[in-house]
Amino acid sequence: MKKVTAVGLLIQNIVEDQTIKAKSMSEWVMVFEKVKEMEKQQIIDAFENGEDNIDSDGCSIDRNGAEQYYNQTYKSE
């Protein structure tokens, strides 16, 4: 089974909305929240699986560093 990406999930929902059943605003909010969480996890996974997880001081960056990177780069709260 092929893994669905966050963008793929969003596209699936847009197509469904146009061809099968129109979503309510609350359903779209739930879709966007799920897609945002998937995207966050994909970014963290990519960061953790990268070959060079070393910061400028030569220290290894762990999951907390990946989450911090995500929050600093993508979180607007």
CA angle 48, 51, 52 (to 5 degrees): 90
Q: What is the pLDDT of residue 62?
A: 62
Is pLDDT above 70 for 63?
Answer: no
Q: What's at 67, amino acid-wise? A: E
Contacts of 76 (CB under 8 A, 6+ apart): none
Percent of the chain predicted with pLDDT > 70: 71
Q: Cα–Cα distances in Å, from 11 out to 1, 7, 38, 43, 47?
A: 18, 6, 14, 19, 24
Q: How far apart are CA 74 and CA 42, in angstroms?
A: 13
Q: What is the pLDDT of residue 60?
A: 63
Of 51 and 71, which is predicted with more confidence?
A: 71
